[in-house]
Amino acid sequence: MHAVIISIGDELLKGHSVNTNAPWIARELASVGIAVRRIVTCSDEPDEISAAVEDGLEREELVLTTGGLGPTRDDRTRNAVRKLLGRGLELDSGTCRRLAEWYRKRGRNPAEAIREQAMIIEGAVAVPNTKGMAPGMVIDCGDRFGNHRLVLMPGVPEEMEAMMKLTVIPLLARLSGISIVHTPVKTIGIGETQLAAMIRFIEDGLPAGTTISYLPHISGVNLMITSAGSDRQTVEQQNRGVVDAVVGKAGSFVYATSDVELEEVVGQLLLEKKLRVAVAESCTGGLIASRLTDIAGSSRYFLCGMVTYSNEAKEELLGVDPEAILLHGAVSEEVAAAMAQGCLKRSNADIAVATTGIAGPSGGSAEKPVGMLCLALAVRSDSGAVLVSSRTLHLNGDRRQNKRRFSDAALRELLKALRID
């Protein structure tokens, strides 16, 4: 089965919004063996919607649209599709009950509004909207379009994603008859060329139906290992075999083989080892603390973050010796180490990470260029002694990219320390 995705909305064409729906839908479709042949964006004009849908149905067995469903003036997809298919509208009783209950809880009873929003195209199957108002629809488009299917969904990502996960994907999975297994292999601190060289022989010997996709990101590259076939057990075994082989080659660069972020992996290890962390940040401006606390339950292992951007703050809040800054400069391993030690002492944490660097675009020199990062860890041993390590990295990017890469480097250093038994 092949599909066309149609993203509807003037805001997409004018550049006011980024189309995140289409790639998300494509990934979900791939998980059930449906390949996307085309992604189309069109305006809210009914004629444009009708033309895009008609073209899609003539080309492929499945067309999915987002946008143009709901109570506002620019939500015109339902009527454009109704006219294209030559069908009327009918009331969906399930949607009507859900909307009535929603309004009742808010002390309102707009009968006409409820009826209007609960109308679906004749012959369609309503897709419940658990995150909003307008229902989606799955439509068998009849002989004219070879009984190809059309899925209509709202453009609000939260609403669309819930519809896909709860209703649309389970339906399509039954239709496709193909078992697909996707496993991410997430890495950090390694480039695409280096990683490809490491796993070249694995790629040369991939089993039939298995592929490896490279997904570069700002601090490394992730892999997506996909296996497909008719027998679920065989597909899972083949996929796991390739994943294990890649992890065996890539080693310490791999931080996860599931859909988790680096900070989540670090947090889980801190929990498992019953350790508490604190951070002292200069060039990262609180980004490390923010990422660690993005994880639910982080209060169990995260104590505090200190953003000591100025030299005075480093001295007053962390106890960094002014002579160290004068002698080595604020961006130095010596100052990073002193920051980590001061953070550990003042927070009473088990481990502290510190960063100081030059994010740019100005502030660099020949000796200390933009992109230079000095980071340090201070770890309290079981005996109470404090072990300090530091290193310098040179990274490339604009200011925002460098801050992200700096925070990635710090989290990776923390991960390496936590993996040591």
Q: pLDDT tens digits, residue range 225-267?
A: 999 888 889 999 999 999 999 999 999 999 999 989 999 999 9
pLDDT for the residue 387: 96
Q: Indicate if 262-419 has the same CATH topology as 179-256.
A: no
Is the four-CA dihedral 393, 260, 33, 155 of positive or negative sign? negative
Provide the residue ranges of all domains of the chain, joining segments of one domain with +.
2-176, 179-256, 262-419
pTM of the predicted structure, to 2 decimals: 0.76
pLDDT tens digit string along 193-215?
999 999 999 999 999 989 999 99
The alpha carbon of 63 is separated from its chain's Cα centroid by a whole number of angstroms, namely 25
Predicted local confidence at residue 106, as pLDDT: 81
Fold for the domain defined by 2-176: Molybdenum Cofactor Biosythetic Enzyme; Chain A (3.40.980)
pLDDT of residue 179: 81
Residue among 351, 359, 393, 355 at smallest CA distance from 375: 355
What is the reported pLDDT for 162? Answer: 94
Per-residue buried b or exposed e for 320-331, using 16+ beta carbons within 10 Å of the residue's own CB: beeebbeeebbb
Instruction: Evaluate whether 346 touches 364 at the Cβ level (below 8 Å).
Output: no
> What CATH number does the domain located at 262-419 have?
3.90.950.20
Distances (CA, A) of 395 to 218, 253, 373, 398: 11, 17, 8, 10
- What is the pLDDT at residue 72? 56
How much is the pLDDT for 173?
83
CATH 3.30.70.2860 assigned to domain 179-256? The reply is yes
pLDDT at residue 321, rounded to an integer: 97
* Segments in the chain below pLDDT 70: 71-75, 421
